[in-house]
């Protein structure tokens, strides 16, 4: 094929370890492996040389874009010449045939318009990693109140309830603006069917949005760890923030009778705990202290360590209190042949089949999660039964192929 492609992300994994950044970077690497003349453009907050818009990292194919929004409500970036000047120039110089955008956040939603203005014939693919266009609350589709209730659909009046400073009219303008910028996208990729449905409800043409899972690098799976009568090892892997449900996990553990607690080992491999709000940190730290005989806190991990972490455990738990899209950790767990205990909502419920590749518990319910723990302790054979059902998730080459099929390449 040897086509020229550009992959755009809102961050470079060198600086930002989020799932979206990693998925974009792995996709870029896959393009190179497939023989594409591929470039990676990642937005960064670090300072450039003397006010330049771009710099490179690692090699000349990995370009950093030093820019940011001037309007976080609209994801708009028009006041500087970064998009309509510098980025347009870069597009002219590169003139790729296909552009795979993995975000517009921090880059500017008008990027879509500039791309089509400079390169009218380019194929423009946008992968959606969460619900930013739909929800002003960090794209979570969770209400802003104290209870952080799950939100099922956006609306000008409803969104105004979450953000009283913004009028219903402002939310109308926001939606119009984003939808009109989405007009220039040829094809949307949704890593989960759940996310696809949300965007169709919101107004994206269902013919233009396709479900393609983020591809996984191939790994060799070590035989399943024995589940002894003594201990069941469960890992929580990922960021620690109020929407990841670590409090639900710890509450559930506290509910367990002592003899059940003694049979469990919970390993928490989590990043960004120290940058959370102090109330949250305080609550979690207190619980961790109480549960020190059950829970071990490991701190952040590097992607290459994941295999070793997963090889030593029996289960992965993903107790998020928001919908999620397609959490990286679920795909990684399945890659390594581990069953996953998940909240029964959104992308989590979609990616794990209850009693087949893992177990569902009622989202946000510590009681339900505690019951689930009791179930896996009382039936130790359950784990290996589920492990045998796990099939390999979509590989990177397969994902690459499916995305290109959806734009007829």
Partner 1 sequence: MSEQVNSEPNDVVFHVDFVAQIDNVWSLSGWLVSSSTAPLLVISEAASEITQQKWQSIPRPDVIDALGLGDDKFAVGFVHCFVSDSNDFQNFVISVNGKVIDMKSLTPKLLNNSDIIFAALDDKKDVFVESIKGFYQSDDAVSRDKSVKPENEKQQINFYFDDCLVTDGNLLYFKGWALTEQALNNIVVVDRQGQTFTVTECFRFVRHDLNEQLNLTMDIAAGFVSVCRLPDGFKAVTLSINIDGFESLSAPVSLHSVPLSKSTLLKTYLGLVDVHLDDFFSSGQPAILRHVSDIWQAEAIMDGLSPQVCEYGEQTEQPVVSLVIPIYGRYDFVQHQLLAFSQDPDMAKHEIIYVLDDPKIAREFTIACSGVFNTFTMPFKTVYAGKNLGFAGANNLGASQAQGRFILALNSDVLPSRHGWLSRLVNKYDKLEDVGILGTKLVYEDNTLQHIGMHFQQDAYYPGIWMNYHPHKGMPAKLVVSEGTKAVELVTGACMLIERSLYESVGGFDTRYILGDFEDSDLCLKVYDQNKKIYLDTEESLIHLERLSQNLVDSGDWKYKLTLLNGLYQKNKWGQAIEKVKQHYA
Binding site for partner 1 (CB under 8 A): 71, 74, 76, 78-81, 83-85, 110, 113-114, 117, 156-157, 167-173, 176-177, 180-181, 183
Residue number with CB closer to partner 1 (81 or 354): 81
Which is nearest to 333 in space by CA: 398, 400, 238, 263? 238
Contact of 225 with 314, CB cutoff 8 Å: yes
Residue 99's SS3 state is strand
Sheet strands side by side (includes 295-297): 295-297, 264-271, 232-239, 315-318, 340-343, 358-361
| Nearest distance from C-beta of residue 54 to partner 1, angstroms | 18
According to DSSP, the β-strands at 59-66 and 54-57 are antiparallel
Residue number with CB closer to partner 1 (15 or 73): 73
Residue number with CB closer to partner 1 (159 or 250): 159
Residue number with CB closer to partner 1 (157 or 304): 157
- How many C-beta neighbours within 10 Å does residue 164 have? 8
Could you identify the residue written with the tokens 């109020």?
242
| Nearest distance from C-beta of residue 80 to partner 1, angstroms | 8
Which is nearest to 54 in space by CA: 17, 91, 22? 91
| Nearest distance from C-beta of residue 348 to partner 1, angstroms | 33
Return d(Cα 69, Cα 74) in angstroms, integer.
Answer: 9
Return d(Cα 282, Cα 266) in angstroms, integer.
Answer: 20
Could you identify the residue written with the tokens 């979609």?
350
Contact of 279 with 310, CB cutoff 8 Å: no
Residue number with CB closer to partner 1 (158 or 254): 158
Burial of 289 (0-12, 13-18, 19+ CB in 10 A): exposed
Residue number with CB closer to partner 1 (143 or 166): 166
| Nearest distance from C-beta of residue 91 to partner 1, angstroms | 14
Contact of 26 with 396, CB cutoff 8 Å: yes
Residue number with CB closer to partner 1 (168 or 203): 168
| Nearest distance from C-beta of residue 156 to partner 1, angstroms | 5
Residue number with CB closer to partner 1 (56 or 176): 176
| Nearest distance from C-beta of residue 26 to partner 1, angstroms | 31
Residue number with CB closer to partner 1 (173 or 260): 173
Both tokens assigned to 100 = 């795979």
Return d(Cα 327, Cα 319) in angstroms, integer.
Answer: 11
| Nearest distance from C-beta of residue 145 to partner 1, angstroms | 22
Which is nearest to 142 in space by CA: 152, 127, 129, 133? 152
């Amino acid at each position: 094929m040897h086509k020229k492609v550009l992959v755009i992300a809102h961050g470079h994994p060198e600086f930002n370890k989020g799932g979206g950044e990693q998925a974009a970077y792995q996709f870029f690497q896959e393009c190179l492996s497939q023989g594409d003349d591929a470039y990676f453009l990642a937005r960064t907050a670090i300072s450039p040389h003397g006010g330049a818009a771009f710099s490179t990292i690692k090699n000349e194919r990995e370009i950093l874009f030093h820019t940011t929004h001037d309007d976080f409500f609209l994801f708009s970036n028009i006041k500087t010449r970064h998009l309509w000047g510098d980025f347009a120039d870069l597009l002219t110089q590169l003139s790729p045939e296909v552009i795979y955008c993995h975000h517009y956040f921090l880059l500017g939603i008008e990027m879509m318009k500039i791309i089509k203005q400079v390169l009218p014939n380019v194929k423009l693919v946008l992968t959606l990693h969460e619900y930013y266009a739909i929800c002003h609350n960090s794209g979570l589709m969770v209400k802003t109140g104290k209870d952080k209730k799950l939100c099922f659909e956006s609306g000008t009046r409803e969104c105004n309830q979450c953000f009283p400073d913004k009028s219903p009219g402002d939310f109308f303008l926001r939606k119009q603006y984003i939808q009109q910028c989405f007009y220039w996208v040829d094809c949307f990729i949704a890593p989960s069917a759940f996310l696809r449905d949300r965007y169709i409800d919101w107004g994206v043409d269902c013919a233009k949005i396709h479900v393609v899972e983020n591809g996984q690098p191939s790994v060799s799976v070590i035989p399943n760890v024995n589940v002894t009568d003594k201990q069941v090892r469960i890992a929580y892997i990922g960021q620690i923030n109020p929407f990841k449900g670590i409090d639900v996990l710890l509450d559930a553990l506290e509910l367990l009778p002592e003899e059940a607690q003694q049979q469990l080992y919970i390993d928490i491999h989590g990043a960004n705990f120290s940058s959370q709000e102090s109330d949250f940190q305080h609550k979690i730290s207190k619980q961790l202290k109480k549960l020190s005989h059950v829970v071990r806190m490991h701190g952040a991990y590097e992607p290459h360590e994941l295999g070793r972490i997963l090889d030593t455990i029996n289960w992965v738990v993903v107790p998020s209190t928001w919908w999620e899209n397609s959490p990286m950790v679920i795909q990684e767990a399945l890659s390594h042949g581990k069953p996953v205990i998940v909240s029964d909502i959104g992308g989590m419920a979609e990616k794990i089949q209850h009693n087949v590749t893992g177990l569902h518990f009622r989202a946000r319910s510590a009681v339900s999660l505690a019951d689930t723990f009791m179930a896996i302790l009382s039936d130790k054979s359950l784990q290996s039964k589920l492990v045998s059902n796990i099939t390999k998730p979509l590989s990177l080459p397969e994902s690459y192929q499916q995305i290109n099929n959806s734009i007829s390449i």
